[in-house]
């Protein structure tokens, strides 16, 4: 089954369209809907999460990226995904304990929302089959006016078809309409943004990396940890082998954060259009120096299969209009 081009919405089956029209005519909301955001990293997923978190039809919770299915033994680097959650939980527990020792503790106990969210995150990771759907059911129960919830974890773009099938089966069994979103950014630009993010994070932690991003780019952009998040051809192949065309929304990041892009998203998800904050960007990494031309050429050549795949799938004009490195220089 083929994924639709990025500027044409997939049409759901006739029965589903008729049911949606009947609900609309009667003034009723759609059935509970789940957005599964699978990436790509550094391609607008945080902006999308913030938009949905503010949306009156959505109950997105405090945590954007649950990464539950990356942290299952058998998936690549599963322990690397699990460890940060435990560390965050430990830090929050330390904060809560310290708050109990302050003079204000008796009058106002520390806010528990973040602690509960982190406890739930660890719990659903350790028992995904039993807790994953129930977690999102609780989010919807707390917001009776909402009908959409979800998990936007760009790391899911590294999953294989078997993992996607597991997620699909869990959500369908839980009674959810499933909507999968995959945003793609020019591979060279996505990789450079990812390397710059490491510099930004190091600076926030008071550290300085041995070499700045523009000098590390040629090596880090082709490293396995970076490549796994940039092989859109492999991600799309896994997605289309598991999900129906009407469940998939594939777009170029470069033209997504626009009035038209958001209109397409809300129509796809079945939520009301709400004006987006287009001028705001999330997690922007400072861009001071550019990589040497030979470094860009090396990375572009490394990801030639991704560019070729997208050009064949979506057309040269569409790719060239969105990706500055669509054509090798």
Residue written as token pair 């009058």: 107
Choose the weakest-confidence range: 46-55, 58-67, 317-326: 58-67
At the topology level of CATH, where does 1-26+177-329 sit? Rossmann fold (3.40.50)
Cis peptide upstream of residue 190 (ω within 30 degrees of 0): no
Report pLDDT for 4.
46
> 310 near 319, Cβ under 8 Å?
yes
Q: What is the pTM of this model?
A: 0.86
Instruction: Give Cα separations from 320 to 39, 96, 133, 196, 261 (angstroms).
Output: 21, 51, 40, 24, 18
Please report which confidence band the pLDDT of residue 89 belongs to, taking 50, 70 and 90 as the band edges. Answer: very high
Please report which confidence band the pLDDT of residue 1 belongs to, taking 50, 70 and 90 as the band edges. Answer: very low
The answer on pLDDT for 131 being more than 80 is yes
Half-sphere exposure of 26 (CA within 13 A, CB side): 9
The answer on pLDDT for 289 being more than 50 is yes
Report pLDDT for 11.
52
The answer on pLDDT for 134 being more than 90 is yes
What residues contact residue 268 under an 8 Å CB cut-off, 6+ apart? 9, 10, 179, 181, 249
Report pLDDT for 258.
96
The answer on pLDDT for 82 being more than 90 is no
Going by C-alpha positions, the residue among 2, 28, 9, 1 that lies closest to residue 251 is 9
Choose the weakest-confidence range: 37-46, 83-92, 137-146, 279-288: 279-288
Sort strands 248-252 and 177-184 into parallel, antiparallel or unpaired: parallel
Please report which confidence band the pLDDT of residue 282 belongs to, taking 50, 70 and 90 as the band edges. Answer: confident
> 175 near 137, Cβ under 8 Å?
no
The answer on pLDDT for 315 being more than 90 is yes
The answer on pLDDT for 198 being more than 90 is no
Specify the higher pLDDT residue, 5 or 26: 5
The 10 Å Cβ neighbour count of residue 40 is: 25
The answer on pLDDT for 104 being more than 80 is no
Please report which confidence band the pLDDT of residue 76 belongs to, taking 50, 70 and 90 as the band edges. Answer: confident
248-252 β-sheet, strand order: 148-152, 33-37, 177-184, 248-252
The answer on pLDDT for 269 being more than 50 is yes
The domains of the chain are located at 1-26+177-329
């Amino acid at each position: 089954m083929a994924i639709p081009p990025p500027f044409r919405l997939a049409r759901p089956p006739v029965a589903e369209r008729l049911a949606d029209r009947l609900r609309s005519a009667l003034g009723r909301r759609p059935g509970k809907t789940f957005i599964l955001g699978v990436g790509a990293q550094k391609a607008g997923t945080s902006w999308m999460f913030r938009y949905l978190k503010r949306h009156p039809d959505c109950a997105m919770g405090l945590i954007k990226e649950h990464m539950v299915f990356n942290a299952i033994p058998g998936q690549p680097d599963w322990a690397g995904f699990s460890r940060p959650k435990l560390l965050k939980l430990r830090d929050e527990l330390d904060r809560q304990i310290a708050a109990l020792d302050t003079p204000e503790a008796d009058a106002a106990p520390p806010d528990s929302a973040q602690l509960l969210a982190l406890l739930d995150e660890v719990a659903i990771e350790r028992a995904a089959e039993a807790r994953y759907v129930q977690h999102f059911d609780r989010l919807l129960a707390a917001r009776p006016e909402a009908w959409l919830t979800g998990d936007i974890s760009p790391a899911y773009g590294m999953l294989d078809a078997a993992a996607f099938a597991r997620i699909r089966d869990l959500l369908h069994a839980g009674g959810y309409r499933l909507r999968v979103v995959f945003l793609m950014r020019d591979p060279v630009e996505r990789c450079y943004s990812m390397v710059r993010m490491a510099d930004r994070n190091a600076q926030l932690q008071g550290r300085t990396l041995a070499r700045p991003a523009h000098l590390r780019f040629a090596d880090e952009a082709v490293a396995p940890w970076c490549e796994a998040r940039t092989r859109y051809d492999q991600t799309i192949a896994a997605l289309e082998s598991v999900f129906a065309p009407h469940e998939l929304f594939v777009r170029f990041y470069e033209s997504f954060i626009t009035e038209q892009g958001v209109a397409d998203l809300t129509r796809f998800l079945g939520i009301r259009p709400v004006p987006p904050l287009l001028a705001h960007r999330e997690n922007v990494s400072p861009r001071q120096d550019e990589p040497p031309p030979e470094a860009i050429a090396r990375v572009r050549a490394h990801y030639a299969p991704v560019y070729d795949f997208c050009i064949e799938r979506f057309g040269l004009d569409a790719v060239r209009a969105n990706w500055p490195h669509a054509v090798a220089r």
